Structure 1
Amino acid sequence: MAQTGKGPGGKLSGGRSTLSLDDLVSQLKAVHGASLTAVVLYGSAATNEHVEGLSDVNVMVLVESIPFATMQALAPTMRAWQEAGNPPALELTVAEWRASADIFPIEYADILERHRVLHGALPVEGLVVRRRDLRLQVEQEAMGKLLRLRRGVMVAGSDVARQQDLLRASLSSLLVIFRAIMRLGGEVPPRDADAVIDAVAARTGFDATPYHQVLALKRGTAVETRDTSALLESYVTGMASLVAWLDGYTPPESVPELLSPVSR
């Protein structure tokens, strides 16, 4: 499995936090003590897809138990981490981690392929993601994403700043869905986000162009004001096309039923 590693100074906070990953791990160790099994960085921050100042820094914490008093004791650390612009850390017991791959197959598949262990060891022995579970969640998440995008469009109206915020904010979770679609077809998703977009567009038939443009927007490339509405419209249209494709999709029988952990 991946081993401990950090960026310069151990900091990976998207430029927003004064609390480094080293500090976070130290405080988690102090509060959890011997119960702390693993601290894992996952998602784009664990790969070269991280966009400084924009990408989330996702951390999962595995422990033997989570007493109520321990959760309360973590409040100063978690508030500092969240108020700095980072998502709250995800805390699970080791038993919960081992038992939940069937209900969170997208998340598990993504964590197993894209993670960096900051402390301890990630328990993966015997852990598998069943393709039938993944198939169901992919369609559910894609439909939910489409509904949230439509709601976002209605809230944003013709406000360009709101439209661009919606596009930037939506892409990371959409790329998680795209990677899951590739896994359904028996493929290991590439690390490069543009390559993921191209692969899924070729498989499902939607136009990849707006998704590349939104990725560039998230990386800091400006979009002309007059072009934003058209970009958002084509982005949402592509999602509707993807949802329709998923509704009729059956993974090929030649693809193995189980997805096992992948070492990185």
Structure 2
Amino acid sequence: MATPSLSLDALVAQLTQSHGDALAAVVLYGSAASGEAITGQSDVNVMVLCTALPLSTMRSLGQTMRAWSEAGNPPVLEMTVQEWRTSADIFPMEYADILERHRVLHGTLPLEGITVRPEHLRLQLEQESMGKLLRLRRGVMVAGTDTAKQQELLRASLSTLLVLFRAVMRLHGEQPPRDAAQVIAAASARCGFDAHPFTQVAALKRGGTLSPTETDTVLEGYVAGMSALVAHLDALDGG
């Protein structure tokens, strides 16, 4: 979650050198590709597609990937082209986000025949939302009454929740907007929870402040909202 010391251009150059002719595409996706990224806060997500991924090549990228990760970025996602073409059914949320918000940095991203089916999206979305709720509860227990730890938990969880909220909109046939506040408002209206705690966390992540009392209130609403999201998705099962 930091500005990379290894630039995207340098990353692409090193990926090109290591993978050679096997490199099919390097793709930037998510908020960094759509112009929504918050400097120093948002993830810089990169996907690499290759015709083959020999162990020797992956080993040769060790120093590059360590530098990328140590700068606070999520690990680069490496797949074969064949894996990309056949995995939309098991990673529908990720595929939907990549298809909607991406920028090709090198090569060509194969898109023909790539579709996200609603039933696959609902199943993964419910699973991911329940998992996030369980991790959020665990984080609440670990943070206890420490306001700083509570706020860090809130800030760290928001990006994932926005991915879930965008998936909710797509599941209902809606095109998610770029603005985070609009995404929160749409998802809360669909799932029946209060949007205000989530917009407060979005403001906190942009550099805003919360008092200890406000933090407790926001955290309570945050957990309640996630519970409502899980209940909403469960009710859609078979619908």
Quickly name the TM-score band, shorter chain normalised: over 0.9
Cα distance in 2 for partners of 1:175, 1:155 equals 23
- Residue matched to 2:27: 40
- 1:216 equivalent to 2:203? Answer yes
- 1:208-247 superposed matches below 5 A: 208-247=195-234
The offset of 1:132, in angstroms, is: 0.7
CA RMSD of aligned residues (A): 1.3
Q: What secondary structure is seen at the aligned counterpart in 1 of 2:57?
A: helix
Q: TM-score, normalised by structure 2?
A: 0.97
Distance (Å, rounded) in 2 between the aligned partners of 1:73 and 1:89:
14
Q: Give me the whole-angstrom Cα distance separating, in 1, the residues matched to 2:207 and 2:101.
A: 24
Amino acid at match of 2:87: S
Amino acid at match of 1:18: S
Corresponding residue of 1:9: none
User: Which residue of structure 2 lines up, in the alignment, with residue 259 of structure 1?
Assistant: none
**Alpha-carbon contact 1:14-1:51 (below 8 Å) kept:** no
- Matched with 1:5 is none
Calculate percent identity across the aligned residue pairs: 65
Match of 1:27 in 2: 14
Q: Which residue, 44, 47, 60 being the options, matches 1:60?
A: 47
In the TM superposition, residue 226 of structure 1 has moved relative to its aligned partner by: 2.6
User: Is 2:121 the counterpart of 1:139?
Assistant: no
Q: Does residue 1:116 correspond to 2:108, yes or no?
A: no
Measured against aligned partners, the alpha-carbon deviations of 1:52-89 in whole angstroms (never above 9, x if no partner) come to: 01111110000010000001001011011111111110
C-alpha distance in structure 1 between counterparts of 2:82 and 2:238, whole Å: 30
Residue deviations 1:146-186 (CA, integer Å, cap 9, x gap): 00000000000011111111101111111111111111111
Aligned to 1:184: 171
1:206 aligns with 193
Q: Which amino acid aligns with 1:229?
A: D
Question: 2:46–2:76: 8 Å Cα contact kept in structure 1?
Answer: yes
Letter matched to residue 51 of structure 1 = I
**Other structure's SS at 2:35 match:** coil
2:236 match:
249
Question: Secondary structure at 1:158's aligned position in 2?
Answer: coil
Aligned mates of 1:53, 1:233 — CA distance in 2: 27
Partner of 1:154: 141
Contact 2:2 2:71 in 1 (8 A): no
Aligned letter for 2:226? M
Q: Alpha-carbon deviations, 1:181-229, whole Å to 9, x = none?
A: 1111111111111111111111111000001001111111111223111
Matched residue SS, 1:129: coil
Q: Secondary structure at the match of 1:229?
A: helix
Q: Cα deviation per residue 1:68-127 (whole Å; 9 max; x = unaligned)?
A: 000100101101111111111000000000010000000100111011111111111011
Which structure has more relative contact order (CA 8 Å, sep 6+)? It is: 1
Which of the pair is proportionally richer in helix? 2
Contact 1:185-1:251 at 8 Å conserved across structures: no
Structure 1 alignment gaps of length 5 or more: 1-12, 253-264
1:30 shift after superposition: 0.4
1:80 and 1:219 map into 2 onto residues whose CA distance is 26
Equivalent position SS for 1:242: helix
SS at match of 1:186: coil
Distance, in Å, in 2 between the alignment partners of 1:144 and 1:228 is 23
CA distance in 1, matches of 2:146, 2:73: 26
| Other-structure match for 2:78 | 91
Once the two structures are TM-superposed, the CA of residue 250 in structure 1 deviates from its matched residue by 5.4
